[in-house]
């Protein structure tokens, strides 16, 4: 793999470009936008053309950057030279591509040995950088797994979420934490595996309650030998790996043998373990007969939006399903979006042996090869036409259609609330992004500010922000805390807006933190044949059409929790930051803090109330309560962290061993604080220099 410099190359004589078959076979020729809108695209086309002259005819990944250095798009190509040359011609197939070309101010390239390596690198970079023009998965939560540790004589079974760095086996993914907990509960009954942490295990002197209720075999106190316990762990590992029939057959044979030897209590234990395993399998929905391990992907499109439903099958059991709503350009086909979703989904997850798809992918062989390299074994991609596999895909397709219909209905209801909010506050149009601010503290300590964001899709939790209030702000000064929060927020917003405005000849459309997409080779898909018309581009003047579906990063309405004082503090800060075109509203609690009696403050209006049954009033209360919940939760988390912080950790040179020695000798941190220097020096394992450092930390202030 070779990384190429992202600096703009020097001017060299232009070379002849060789057309690649996939670029020359477009059904309908795209418009040359350099002639239709020279002011909007000239700068971007020139930048791309300079890079294209010196690129090799090799596979790799390219990144496009705007003037502020933000990544616009990540793409892979079989030939970097041919792919970038297509952009250099100024040929755009959609408005999104045209905007992307216009905003491009720099590029960066990485050459790879094969196109498969390029596809894997592309999916990694998309997940890391989240470019605004790529198809993006908007599900921020990681999937839960069942973890069976491999770095301890008595393996632990536990729920796991996040990076898989600890040695052991990970089984999943499961669609929900509830499914994991239910399965672990049954596996504990069946295999008597411990679920306690290693530190808890090491400090046990007698068996815990789980041993008494027959959920653990008690390896911590020697109730079972390590070799026998390892046998139980091996059985659990085999069961979770798909060899359930063999495990159940073994338990059945042992139960029968125990009964024949008249060891009925032992036979009863085997019977209970068999019943627990049956419960694991019987508790799943639509279990399969011939599909042992597979993920089923089905995509549905309605009103320009997409939903991908994923079902997980392991050990012929349904481990649940999850609906994803990727952000994708409307011009993309479902197959193109699905290709990008599949490659991104397995960026941090081990793929199963079989992946069933609802649509044929243009580069299914390439994607399958990439998944094989990632898994280290064979992975099959299939679009079934008949049989049980087709039934599974059809079931997932139905769920995708229903999930997207529900989301669209919710969005329509949310849009009506935004319309009501705009009418209630006299706005020219319904706000697309609403930001609500609140502060939380206890007597000025652990002060934090919270910002929640709402839009057409409801609460946009990926846009929530917290602000740690600086020590310079007077403790308990609510006005000062609000001023600091808003100043930091809108100073940064003004700086970002200024950076975008400095880019000459580029489109000035606003884009969200959740990126838009481009109709190019997303996940290996070929460019969309849809062509932007000359009227669309020429009629736009120097700026290209904006994408109305993009969630903006700039609010249309700001709401602060408080009365006239909070309102004036917020208004002054926003004016100092040059933000005067955003509507500002303050909410004062009603008499006796009763709901439905809130008073609202706005610029140019006398304080007013809304009718008690106004839908906008209920919506505002929801927004305020969510902001309050978020600020309170953040404050509590910060306070909890501070409570757990040990003052000894702040002393240079005090590591875990010396901290342990001090605590064992004195008992508590308060006793260490009161101790004299001579007493500190007598602590076993603590030298004179350390004792002086501890004494100085607590006494010389």
Calculate mean pLDDT across residues 206-220: 88
> In the structure, what pLDDT confidence band is assigned to residue 19 with cuts at 50, 70 and 90?
very low
Q: Are the CB atoms for 547 and 512 separated by under 8 Å?
A: no
**Mean pLDDT calculated for residue range 489-510:** 56
8-44: b (≥16 Cβ within 10 Å) or e: eeeeeeeeebeebebbeebeeebbebbebbeebbbbb
Quickly state the pLDDT bin for 317 (edges 50, 70, 90). Answer: confident
Closest CA to 102 of 130, 67, 51, 50: 67
Q: Do the Cβ atoms of 628 and 561 come closer than 8 Å?
A: yes
Q: Are residues 460 and 552 in contact, defined by beta-carbon separation less than 8 angstroms?
A: no
pLDDT at site 592: 56
What was the pLDDT predicted at 530? Answer: 33
Residues sharing a CB contact under 8 Å with residue 32, sequence separation 6 or more, in sequence order: 89, 90, 91
User: Mean of the pLDDT values across residues 264-279?
Assistant: 72
Q: Which residues pair with 543 in a beta bridge?
A: none
Two tokens, residue 468: 């740690």
pLDDT tens digits, 458-485: 888 888 988 888 766 665 677 888 888 8
pLDDT digits (tens, 9 = 90+) for 121-149: 888 888 788 888 888 876 556 778 889 88
pLDDT of 96 higher than 50? yes
Handedness of CA 554, 558, 560, 565 (dihedral sign): positive
CA distance 184 to 154: 16
pLDDT at 529: 32
Tokens representing 425 are: 């506050």
Site of tokens 């495990």 = 247
- pLDDT of 504 > 60? The answer is no
**98 and 532 Cβ atoms separated by less than 8 Å:** yes
**What band does 383 get if pLDDT is binned at 50, 70 and 90?**
very high
pLDDT greater than 90 at residue 174: no
pLDDT at 259 over 60: yes
**Stretch 333-350: mean pLDDT:** 87
- 110 pLDDT above the threshold of 60: yes
What angle (nearest 5°) sits at the alpha carbon of residue 142, between those of residues 136 and 147? 150
The full set of domains in the chain, from first to last, is 145-241+243-282 (no CATH), 294-406 (3.30.420), 647-699 (1.10.150.20)
Query: Residue 458, by phi and psi: left (phi above 0), alpha (psi -120 to 50) or beta?
Result: left
Answer yes or no: are the C-beta atoms of 579 and 497 closer than 8 Å.
Answer: no
Rounded to two decimals, the pTM is 0.59
254 and 273 Cβ atoms separated by less than 8 Å:
no
Is residue 342 predicted with pLDDT exceeding 50?
Answer: yes
User: Is the per-residue pLDDT at 513 higher than 50?
Assistant: no
């Amino acid at each position: 793999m070779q990384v190429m410099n992202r600096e703009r190359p020097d001017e060299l004589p232009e070379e002849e470009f060789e057309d690649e078959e996939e670029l020359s076979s477009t059904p309908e020729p795209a418009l040359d936008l350099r002639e239709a809108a020279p002011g909007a695209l000239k700068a971007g086309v020139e930048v791309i053309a300079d890079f294209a002259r010196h690129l090799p005819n090799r596979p790799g990944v390219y990144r496009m950057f705007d003037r502020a250095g933000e990544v616009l798009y990540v793409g892979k190509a079989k030939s970097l030279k041919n792919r970038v040359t297509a952009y250099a011609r100024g040929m755009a197939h959609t408005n999104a591509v045209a905007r992307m070309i216009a905003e491009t101010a720099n590029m960066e390239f990485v050459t790879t040995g094969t196109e498969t390596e390029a596809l894997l690198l592309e999916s990694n970079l998309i997940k890391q950088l989240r470019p605004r023009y790529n198809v993006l998965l908007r599900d921020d939560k990681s999937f839960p797994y069942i973890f069976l540790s491999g770095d301890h004589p008595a393996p632990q079974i536990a729920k796991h979420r996040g990076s898989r760095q600890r040695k052991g086996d990970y089984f999943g993914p499961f669609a929900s934490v509830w499914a994991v907990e239910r399965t672990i509960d049954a596996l504990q009954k069946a295999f008597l595996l411990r679920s306690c942490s290693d530190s808890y295990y090491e400090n046990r002197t007698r068996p815990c309650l789980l041993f008494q209720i027959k959920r653990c075999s008690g390896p911590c106190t020697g109730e079972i030998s390590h070799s026998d316990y390892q046998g139980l762990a091996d059985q659990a590992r085999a069961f979770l790996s798909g060899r359930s029939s063999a495990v159940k057959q073994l338990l059945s044979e042992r139960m029968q043998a125990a009964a024949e030897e008249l060891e009925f209590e032992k036979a009863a234990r085997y019977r209970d373990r068999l019943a627990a395993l049956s419960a694991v399998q019987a508790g799943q929905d639509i279990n399969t007969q011939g599909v042992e391990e597979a993920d089923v992907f089905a995509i549905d499109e309605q009103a320009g939006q997409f939903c991908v439903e994923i079902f997980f099958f392991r050990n012929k059991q349904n481990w649940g399903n999850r609906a994803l709503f990727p952000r994708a350009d409307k011009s993309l086909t479902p197959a193109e979006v699905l290709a990008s979703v599949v490659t991104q989904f397995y960026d941090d997850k081990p793929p199963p042996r079989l992946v069933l798809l609802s649509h044929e992918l243009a580069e299914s062989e390439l994607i399958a090869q990439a998944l094989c390299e990632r898994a280290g074994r064979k992975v099959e991609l299939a679009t079934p036409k008949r049989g049980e596999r087709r039934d599974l895909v059809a079931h997932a397709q139905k769920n995708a259609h229903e999930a997207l219909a529900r989301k669209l209905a919710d969005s329509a209801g949310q849009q009506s609330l935004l319309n009501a909010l705009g009418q209630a506050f006299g706005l020219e149009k319904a706000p697309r992004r609403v930001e609500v601010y609140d502060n939380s503290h206890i007597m000025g300590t652990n002060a934090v500010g919270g910002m929640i964001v709402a839009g057409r899709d409801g609460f946009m939790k990926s846009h929530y922000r917290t602000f740690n209030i600086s020590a310079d702000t007077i403790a308990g000064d609510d006005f000062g805390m609000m001023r600091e929060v808003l100043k930091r927020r809108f100073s940064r917003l003004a700086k970002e807006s200024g950076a975008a405005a400095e880019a000459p000849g580029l489109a000035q459309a606003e884009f969200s933190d959740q990126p838009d997409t481009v109709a190019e080779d997303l996940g290996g898909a070929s460019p969309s044949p849809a062509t932007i018309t000359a009227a669309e581009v020429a009629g736009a003047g120097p700026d290209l059409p904006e994408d109305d579906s993009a969630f903006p990063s700039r609010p249309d309405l700001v709401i602060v929790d408080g009365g006239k004082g909070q309102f004036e503090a917020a208004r002054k800060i926003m004016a100092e930051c040059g933000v005067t075109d955003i509507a500002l509203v303050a909410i004062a609690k009603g008499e006796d803090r009763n709901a439905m009696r809130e008073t609202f403050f706005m610029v140019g209006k006398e304080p007013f109330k809304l009718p008690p049954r106004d839908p906008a009033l209920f919506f505002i209360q929801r927004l305020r309560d969510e902001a309050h919940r978020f600020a309170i939760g953040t404050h509590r988390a910060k306070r909890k962290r501070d409570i757990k912080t040990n003052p000894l950790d702040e002393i240079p040179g005090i590591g875990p061993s010396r901290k342990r020695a001090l605590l064992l000798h004195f008992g508590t941190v308060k006793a260490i604080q009161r101790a004299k220097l001579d007493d500190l020096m007598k602590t076993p394992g603590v030298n004179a220099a350390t004792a002086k450092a501890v004494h100085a930390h607590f006494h010389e202030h």
